[in-house]
C-alpha cells in the first residue's frame, strides 16, 4: 500500500505528470526533457529523481549521458501506463511539450542523416574499424542458413552488404533504409553484384511498409545503436515475421567508447544481453543463445530469435538453433 501511495504522490504534480508523458514516448536526456518542458535543468532533475525514487521512471547511465524512460515493470510501471492512458490528449500544455519534443526528434534525425550523407561512400570501411565483418557474416550465415530462407528483410540496410551476402546464395531479399544516400550506394552495390532478386526501398523501421507477415528472416545489423526506441524496432520486425521465422540482431555489447556517440552519431553505447533478450521476449519471440564476437576493443553480439509456429510450445532457449 505504501509503495502505491508513494507512486501516486510522485505522479500527483503537473510537472512530473508532464515528464511521465514525455518519458512514455521514448528515452531522453535531462537536457532534452528540459527543452521539451521549457523549464530549468535543476527543476527537471529534481522532479526526475522523485519519479525514479517512486519507480515510475527508469534512470539509465550510459557513458557521459543519462537517459530516462517510463518504467515498464512491476506495480509502479503498471500504474505509470494506466496514468498515461488517462491523460487528456487535448491538454494545451502537453500539446506544447509534444511540439517541442517533435523539434528535438527532428534535430536528432537531421544529425543522423547528415552523418549518413557525409559517410555513405565509406560506410563499410567505418564498420570494419569496429569489428571483423567476415566473422560477423559467417555467424549470420550459421544462424540463418540460406537454404532455409525464402524471403529476407534487412532493416537499416546501409550499403546493402547483408542483402548481397544472402542474395548471392539464392535468397530473395529486400532492404529498407531512411537515407536516400545509403540507398543509392546499396543499389549500386547490388547492381554491380548482379543480384536481381534483391532490392531496396526507403522505409522507416518503426513503421514497416507491410501489413502482414511476409518474411522468413529479418536482420537488424548495426542499426539499433542509432535508434531512439530499440524495443519498438524489434517489435515491428517481429510483426512481419512468418510463423517459424527468424530474427537476428547484430550490434555492440556495452562499451565506453564515447567518441562513437559524438563522432559517429551513435545513440546507444551497446546493449546488455539481458536488456536485448527482454525486448525480444516482449516482441513475442523466443530468444536463442547469444553469440559474442570480441574484437580488439569492441565486442559484437548476435542475438537470434524465432517466432513460434502456432502449434509449437514455447521454448526456453536455443534448441532450435
pLDDT over threshold 90, residue 232: yes
Grid coordinates given for 95 = 500539446
d(CA 20, CA 85): 11
* Cβ burial 63-86 (10 Å sphere, 16+ → b, else e): beebbbbbbeeeebbebbeebbee
CA-atom Rg of the chain in angstroms: 21
Q: What is the mean pLDDT of residues 17-26?
A: 89
- pLDDT recorded at residue 319: 34
Q: Which domains does the chain have, with CATH numbers?
A: 2-117 (1.10.10.10), 131-306 (3.40.50.150)
d(CA 257, CA 262): 10
Task: For residue range 132-149, list pLDDT tens digits in order.
Answer: 788 999 999 999 999 999
CB 159 within 8 A of CB 185: yes
Q: Range with the lowest mean pLDDT among 77-91, 114-128, 163-177, 287-301?
A: 114-128
Please give the residue that has the higher pLDDT: either 87 or 219. 219
Task: For residue range 120-135, list pLDDT tens digits in order.
Answer: 665 554 555 565 788 9
Q: What is the mean pLDDT of residues 190-198?
A: 77
Amino acid at each position: 500500500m505504501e509503495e502505491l501511495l508513494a507512486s501516486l504522490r510522485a505522479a500527483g504534480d503537473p510537472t512530473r505528470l508532464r515528464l511521465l508523458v514525455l518519458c512514455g514516448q521514448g528515452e531522453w536526456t535531462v537536457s532534452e526533457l528540459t527543452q521539451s518542458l521549457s523549464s530549468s535543468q535543476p527543476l527537471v532533475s529534481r522532479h526526475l529523481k522523485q519519479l525514479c525514487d517512486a519507480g515510475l521512471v527508469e534512470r539509465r547511465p550510459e557513458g557521459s549521458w543519462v537517459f530516462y524512460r517510463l518504467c515498464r515493470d512491476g506495480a509502479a510501471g503498471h500504474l505509470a501506463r494506466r496514468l498515461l492512458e488517462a491523460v487528456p490528449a487535448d491538454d494545451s500544455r502537453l500539446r506544447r511539450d509534444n511540439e517541442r519534443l517533435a523539434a528535438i526528434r527532428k534535430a536528432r534525425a537531421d544529425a543522423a542523416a547528415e552523418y549518413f550523407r557525409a559517410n555513405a561512400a565509406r560506410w563499410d570501411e567505418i564498420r570494419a574499424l569496429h569489428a571483423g565483418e567476415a566473422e560477423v557474416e559467417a555467424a549470420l550465415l550459421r544462424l540463418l542458413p540460406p537454404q532455409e530462407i525464402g524471403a529476407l528483410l534487412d532493416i537499416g540496410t546501409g550499403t546493402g552488404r547483408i542483402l548481397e551476402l544472402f542474395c548471392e546464395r539464392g535468397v530473395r531479399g529486400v532492404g529498407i533504409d531512411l537515407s536516400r544516400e545509403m540507398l543509392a550506394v546499396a543499389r549500386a552495390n547490388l547492381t554491380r553484384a548482379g543480384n536481381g532478386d534483391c532490392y531496396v526501398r526507403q522505409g522507416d523501421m518503426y513503421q514497416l511498409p507491410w501489413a502482414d507477415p511476409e518474411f522468413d528472416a529479418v536482420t537488424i545489423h548495426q542499426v539499433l545503436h542509432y535508434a531512439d526506441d530499440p524495443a519498438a524496432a524489434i517489435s515491428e520486425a517481429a510483426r512481419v515475421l512468418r510463423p517459424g521465422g527468424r530474427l537476428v540482431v547484430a550490434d555492440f555489447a556495452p562499451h565506453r567508447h564515447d567518441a562513437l556517440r559524438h563522432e559517429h552519431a551513435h545513440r546507444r553505447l551497446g546493449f546488455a544481453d539481458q536488456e536485448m533478450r527482454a525486448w525480444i521476449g516482449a516482441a513475442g519471440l523466443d530468444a536463442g543463445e547469444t553469440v559474442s564476437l570480441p574484437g580488439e576493443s569492441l565486442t559484437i553480439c548476435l542475438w537470434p530469435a524465432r517466432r513460434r509456429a502456432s502449434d509449437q510450445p514455447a521454448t526456453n532457449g536455443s534448441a532450435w538453433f
